[in-house]
Amino acid sequence: MYKILLIEDDVQLSNLIQDHLERYGYLVYQPVNFTNIVEEFTRLQPDLVLLDINLPYYDGYYLCRSIRSQSTVPILIISARSQELDQIMAIELGADDYITKPFTFEMLQSKVKAAVRRVYGEYAAKDANNTCVGAFCLDANTLTLTYLEKKVELSKNEYKLMKKLIDHHDAFVSREELIEEVWDAVTFVDDNTLTVNITRMKSKLAELGIKDAIKSRRGAGYLLHIPGADGDEPC
């Protein structure tokens, strides 16, 4: 499930938005205290932010800039301010979209769905340092693998193996291809070395709550199935 941080001080509207989005399977969180929104964002690490402009203590422009300084998470502004200047300012500060009040819940949900699909789904941009399929994301900078709300660290060899399997997910990759990808040589690497590394990868996936994602077949190699990558529901 994708996590949404909903920053709206109109309690009635905020509760209605939360109820509506949770019907579609999102996890919606509302701030406990409007004085430490950025701290709550850092603690929660949401997948998307819905942000009003007129807020107590800090306005939405300040919060948008603060969040954007530490994250590329999608930010959707929801505001009664309808002037073009307000929309331009929000976009220039890093917002991804601007939704003017009043709006229908169906329109809001479609905007949220589009942002999630663009950033995490089939329309996600192929970052040179990240490989993402659905909610499954491999980060080359930090050598980490994330799935939904969980993250595990990988060794350099584990990263190379996972990258190869993700790039060819739902297709078998031969043992020879995997060995060559990681160790640049087929002849001088003990075949058992690959088996040990695959076992470690299975353990890392289990930590993320994904079991039996890597399949093996004699003569064919290994196949990685990513939950949610091809239309099935994530675990």
231 confidence band (pLDDT: 50, 70, 90): very low
pTM: 0.56
Per-residue pLDDT reduced to its tens digit, 172-203: 999 888 888 887 654 455 667 888 889 989 99
Tell me which residue has tokens 């502004």. Answer: 77
Which of the four pLDDT bands, split at 50, 70 and 90, describes residue 122?
A: low
Task: Name the more confident of 123 and 45.
Answer: 45
Q: What's the CA gap between 45 and 66, in Å, rounded?
A: 14
* pLDDT exceeds 80 at position 119: no
More confident residue, 233 or 229: 229
Consecutive H or E run containing 27: strand 27-29
Average pLDDT over residues 66-79: 90
In which residue are the tokens 């004699």 written?
Answer: 218
pLDDT one-digit tens code per residue, 18-64: 999 999 999 999 998 899 999 999 889 899 999 999 999 999 999 99
